[in-house]
Structure 1
Amino acid sequence: MNGTRDSVRALLGALKAGLNAQTPCDVAVCPSFIFLPEAADLLAGSTIQLGSQNVANKAEGAYTGEVSPAMLREFGCGYAIVGHSERRVVYGETDELVAARYEQAIAGGVTPILCVGETLEQRENDETYAVLDTQLDAVINRCGVASLAKAIIAYEPVWAIGTGRTATGEQAQDAHAYIRARIAKQDANVAAGVRILYGGSVKADNAVELFGKPDIDGGLIGGASLDANSFISICNAAG
């Protein structure tokens, strides 16, 4: 929940100028719902794709405040974040609700970016793997492991989001490798193909190390994405 109309215009203008077909990764931005229509217009003709910060767990109906996959697609929005730690921790979204949002995104032709990750307390209690199991299983049990071929996963250790603390490259790689191995137990091909992003205080100065790990396929960038130069540097680090 950052930005004004003017700041969003300025940020997207700078990103459009600085990211192009030579940028060594796919790039999508996920502005607040209210800015999606204008963002779609501003990004027209660029290589930057559009996503939303959430999506409804219903296709349509009397669900005040929610935004459906069909509504997102009307504005060229191809991605939707589901289960971000702030939705889980601050707004109490359960694994079941996250799985329902994920299911609607898939059904509505929008690629879900499924966020999973543990809190500091859970990590210190050696519960990281158990938390990842529970969060992944909620989606797999509802939609099937094959659905992950149409999704993106983002590992975001809650203790490293907006705190300035970043998981070491080894910590992040360990979690990513665990997620991929967990999926591989059910479908090796899906596990090999699914993109797993790291989200947790990624910055230009640590992006090269993180993105160099074998199971880290990119980043879900928070605070650093509000600065165009920083975000462009992170994107270029993917090369």
Structure 2
Amino acid sequence: MNTPTRQKFVVGNWKMHSTTLEAEQLVNGVIHGLSVNNYVTVILCPPFPYLALVRDLLKGTQIALGAQNMYPEAEGAFTGEVSPTMLLDLGREYVILGHSERRHKLGESDSFINQKVECALAAGLNAILCVGETLEQRKANQTEAILDRQLTQGLANVPPEFLSQLSIAYEPVWAIGNALHHESPQQAHDALSLTRKKLSRICGEIRAQQMTLQYGGSVKPHNAAAFLGQPGLDGVLIGGASLKADQFVAIAKAAMGAMKAEVQPS
């Protein structure tokens, strides 16, 4: 049997959605739909107001907790922000950083995202760093340059010993929630291969091969298996489909199926 070196990840990013009732129903639906497994890490990332609620609902399960953002300070006069210390206090294990919506809608720079990555990893959180190009950048053949810049600047000065707490999520901005533009599994594979090549240059071949690379570009139940079956694609960062328990569970089960296929006797 071939033992996989990297687990599959399925991350649900709820973004700015849900109420208390909806959050409770969604979490319970995911819990009831998933079975115990050792090869797929499932993470739910609700909005800040529902962190404690989701934490309590997930107690006793294998589903992990994640946050959608954080500020790069342990504490201070930063009105409206949330620190890594607060996330750890609430039982959070993961945090999404540099999501395309924060880059392009809220103006976060690579240097600011780098501060967040350093702070999150130093605090003991597992960080999911998002990278990816816009449609205009892809049409201008700038994908490689954009990935190189975001990875190089986003990981600047990060101590090597912290890299085991880091994963990368490639988000083709032009494919997220876009009915007109979809990325194929092969395109996702090519972009992630390029990402791992860039990581090899930044942090060395061994660490680059050990790092989890996720894909975040409108993955749905009907195409999840095709994406998760791509070599080098270690997981998916789910937006819209994470708001419906049956869809999210279907994607998680596709990840389990892909993992089982990898460990079957050759």
The TM tier, using the shorter chain, reads over 0.9
Percentage of matched positions with identical amino acids: 44
In the superposition, the TM-score normalised over structure 2's length comes to: 0.87
Aligned length: 239
Matched, 1:52 2:67: yes
Matched, 1:231 2:248: yes
Instruction: Give the letter aligned to residue 187 of structure 2.
Output: Q
Matched, 1:137 2:152: yes
Cα deviation code 1:20-69 (max 9, x no counterpart): 31375110000001100111001111111000000111121111111111
Counterparts of 1:65 and 1:49 in 2: how far apart (Å)? 25
Matched, 1:110 2:110: no
Matched, 1:205 2:222: yes
Please, which of 212, 220, 244 is the counterpart of residue 195 of structure 1? 212
Counterparts of 1:145 and 1:204 in 2: how far apart (Å)? 36
Q: Counterparts of 1:65-214 in structure 2 under 5 Å?
A: 65-144=80-159, 147-164=162-179, 165-185=181-201, 186-214=203-231
Paired residues of 2:164 and 2:211 also in contact (CA < 8 A): yes
Cα deviation code 1:102-141 (max 9, x no counterpart): 1111011111110000000000000001000000001232
Counterparts of 2:62 and 2:35 in 1: how far apart (Å)? 6
Instruction: Give the letter aligned to residue 37 of structure 2.
Output: Q
Cα deviation code 1:161-192 (max 9, x no counterpart): 11133311111001100111111224111111
Counterparts of 2:148 and 2:223 in 1: how far apart (Å)? 27
Counterparts of 1:174 and 1:234 in 2: how far apart (Å)? 21
Tell which deviates more after alignment, 165-174 or 46-55.
165-174
Paired residues of 1:24 and 1:236 also in contact (CA < 8 A): no
Counterparts of 2:35 and 2:58 in 1: how far apart (Å)? 11
What displacement does 1:146 show?
5.1
Counterparts of 1:18 and 1:24 in 2: how far apart (Å)? 17
Counterparts of 1:13 and 1:229 in 2: how far apart (Å)? 11
SS at match of 1:54: coil
Paired residues of 1:146 and 1:190 also in contact (CA < 8 A): no
Please, which of 48, 53, 57 is the counterpart of residue 33 of structure 1? 48
Q: Which runs of 5+ in 1 are unaligned?
A: none
Determine the structure 1 residue equivalent to 2:4.
none
The structure showing larger relative contact order (alpha-carbon pairs under 8 Å, at least 6 residues apart) is: 2
Counterparts of 1:235 and 1:212 in 2: how far apart (Å)? 13
Runs of 4+ in 1 over 3 A off after TM superposition: 144-147
Paired residues of 1:70 and 1:108 also in contact (CA < 8 A): yes
SS at match of 2:71: coil
- The two structures, once aligned, show a CA RMSD in angstroms of 1.2
Paired residues of 2:120 and 2:126 also in contact (CA < 8 A): yes
Instruction: Give the letter aligned to residue 253 of structure 2.
Output: N
Counterparts of 1:214 and 1:180 in 2: how far apart (Å)? 12
Tell which deviates more after alignment, 27-36 or 134-143.
134-143
Instruction: Give the letter aligned to residue 172 of structure 1.
Output: A
